Structure 1
Amino acid sequence: MWAMKLPSADTTVVKRTLSTITEHPEGLPGAEETPEYAEHRKNFWSSVKPAHFGVKIASRSLVVLLRSVIMGLSIGLLANSPLGRYLLLRYPEFFSTGLFSRAGPTEEEVRSGSFKMWFVGHGYGDAARALERGGKLDKEVITEVSGPEVGYITTPIVLVQCALVLLTQRGNLPRGGVYTPGTLFGPTDLQRRLQENGMSFDVHGTRSML
């Protein structure tokens, strides 16, 4: 398996979420939240620990990673100018080395598609070890998020369920503003809703690193 670091907005968003929770360890109170939800919110965020987060893209084929690098460089170099954007939109097959096309996927390709995201966490098995100066990480946790085709199926599912949470649980959410998804939806039942609509959140195992 080959992997490389992916310059992704996900990293920035997760860091912003963790920064917000550092400033507000019990989370952001809802505009008109119920006492029961307030207690749930506090318990939820008390279980979230500080973390360093990064995103990598992995493939069994080194060629696939090289094609991704070429596509990323093409977008980075050309997207800042009108002519560059025209070329990217006019010839996506060329600049993505065949990963994208103007035609888009067929319905059968969408139906048969799926995605998996693996999360590998390294940390401490107990708080005492975490407080030790120079203490080594001693625990690994591997989790997975998976679901149907990510662009045409999973993305609409996520957006619709987020909208339903906003519609039905508005009083339990913070007052208007700009928030990261984790800050806003963390304590809600969004994960359950996504699981009921075809997504999976699984813990594959934990192990000692010592």
Structure 2
Amino acid sequence: MSEKLDVIIFGATGFTGKYTVFEAVSVLQNYRWGIAGRSQEKLENVLQEMGAKAQKNLKDIPIIIADIKNEASLLAMAKRCRVLVNCCGPYRFFGEPVVRACLEAGTHQVDVTGEPQYMETMQLKYNKQAQERKVFIISACGFDSIPADLGVVFIEKNFDGVVNSVESYLQSSVKGNASRGGAGIHYGTWESAVHGLAHSSELKELRKKLYEEKLPKFTPVLKPRPVIFRSEIVNGVCLPFPGPDRSVVMRSQRFLYETEHKRPVQMHTYVTFPSWLAAMLVALLAVSFGFLTKFTFGRRLLLKYPKVFSLGFASHEGPTEARMEQTHFSFIMRAKGWPSSEKLSEPTDQYTDLPTKTLTVKVSGSNPGYGATCVALLSTAVIILKENDKLPGTGGVLPPGAAFAKTSLISELEKHDHGIKFEILANK
């Protein structure tokens, strides 16, 4: 058998996969890595294309042939590495066989899914087995939801007290000529969103099985803002953020409460627009999208005509490199709580006074979908390789905040060109 690799990137010929290969040239430069997929020819083409882009000869990077429909090939692939980076989505359809193969092989797995039903189903079905096999299965390791989940970790490390709640505001912009037309996301991301929203009703019953006991209510309760509102925190018009960030953060907070008896942080997430008109147009589009996902014919329309129903934001071709490079994002996160001098003796104790301390942080980067996402994904693999002793327990199916809270992942993310920056804006 060939020498075991540190990392294999599976699904390397997909849109996200090939940019993960590009980022691997720098992020994995001190590790032995390979790529995997169904087609030898397509994999060779990716190495040639991304090698030319990175100005690096990648012809000696190992190629592994694996097919999602062939479980024996998945197991053979998983046995070839210590960490499998899975870029093969939508994970609702293609993720579970890879998880099973990694569990059998004793190989850790990270992925970039933003599909709550998939993530929580994997936790329900395989968490105990992952602990027994000493394997970490960690999802949401990209733009969904590293900035939010590690942003809360960053807040708690710098708060010097007890955090009660966090409000997160996503802002994004496209600079220069790249803002004129063109897709913002690839079809694969659109497809995952369609199926995720279509089956969102599954979450209630799933969570009843996953969490038999409810968390205690902590006061003051962080109430959601109105459906559309102007925020004084970011000076913009905001809507609820429809992504998985809040559900991922809540999973991390529950884990830390159950394993470390830490008071869980409450959170709500929003997305910011420059004007009332822009926010209302997006809200109308979101309502239409949500309505169509509830019906078979509606989903067919959404999947057949992504450009039409996303107003050009999603396409089979995906965004141009110019648009990707000129897209910037930031999460402004406002935390409220109490200073360390007012810390209670037990995490279940209730404060009688309102929070008196605030901390505002900014988590930012560029090329969120296919730059920062790929760097974050590979960085989680690196941390598993070099700081396995700092991960909680011996294994499990975990969100990133729970898995990497005690590691140097934030520092690792800040090292790279398409990395993610964490900074304090105000501490009062």
| TM tier, smaller | 0.7 to 0.9
**Alpha carbons of 1:149 and 1:9: their partners in 2 closer, same or farther (altered >3 Å)?**
same
Secondary structure at the counterpart of residue 260 of structure 2: coil
- Aligned equivalents of 1:81 and 1:127: distance in 2? 54
- Give the C-alpha shift of residue 122 in structure 1: 1.5
Q: CA RMSD in A?
A: 2.4
Which residue in the other structure is 1:100 paired with? Answer: 314
**Structure 2 unaligned blocks of 5 or more:** 1-235
Task: Output one character per residue of 1:113-133: Cα deviation in whole Å (capped at 9) or x when no partner.
Answer: 211111011122344277785
- Aligned equivalents of 1:156 and 1:178: distance in 2? 20
- Aligned AA (2:406): P
Which residue in the other structure is 2:254 paired with? Answer: 19
Runs of 4+ in 1 over 4 A off after TM superposition: 129-133
**Alpha carbons of 1:103 and 1:133: their partners in 2 closer, same or farther (altered >3 Å)?**
closer
- Aligned AA (1:96): S
Task: Output one character per residue of 1:34-62: Cα deviation in whole Å (capped at 9) or x when no partner.
Answer: xxxxxxxxxxxxxx753211101111122
- Aligned equivalents of 1:92 and 1:120: distance in 2? 35
Asked if residue 203 in structure 1 is aligned to residue 424 in structure 2, the reply is yes
- Aligned AA (1:152): Y
Which residue in the other structure is 2:399 paired with? Answer: 180
Which residue in the other structure is 2:278 paired with? Answer: 64
- Aligned equivalents of 2:318 and 2:280: distance in 1? 22
Higher relative contact order (CA 8 A, sep 6+): 1
**Structure 1 unaligned blocks of 5 or more:** 27-47
What percent identity do the matched residue pairs reach? 27
- Aligned equivalents of 2:351 and 2:332: distance in 1? 30
8 Å CA contact 2:390–2:406 kept in 1: the answer is no
Which residue in the other structure is 1:88 paired with? Answer: 302
Alignment of 1:55-204 (within 5 A): 55-128=269-342, 134-173=352-391, 174-197=393-416, 198-204=419-425
Moved more, 4-13 or 177-186: 4-13
Task: Output one character per residue of 1:91-144: Cα deviation in whole Å (capped at 9) or x when no partner.
Answer: 223322444344432111112221111101112234427778531221221101
Output the TM-score relative to the length of structure 2. 0.40
8 Å CA contact 1:70–1:95 kept in 2: the answer is no
- Give the C-alpha shift of residue 164 in structure 1: 1.5
8 Å CA contact 1:123–1:139 kept in 2: the answer is yes
8 Å CA contact 1:129–1:135 kept in 2: the answer is no
Secondary structure at the counterpart of residue 299 of structure 2: helix
- Aligned equivalents of 2:324 and 2:247: distance in 1? 29
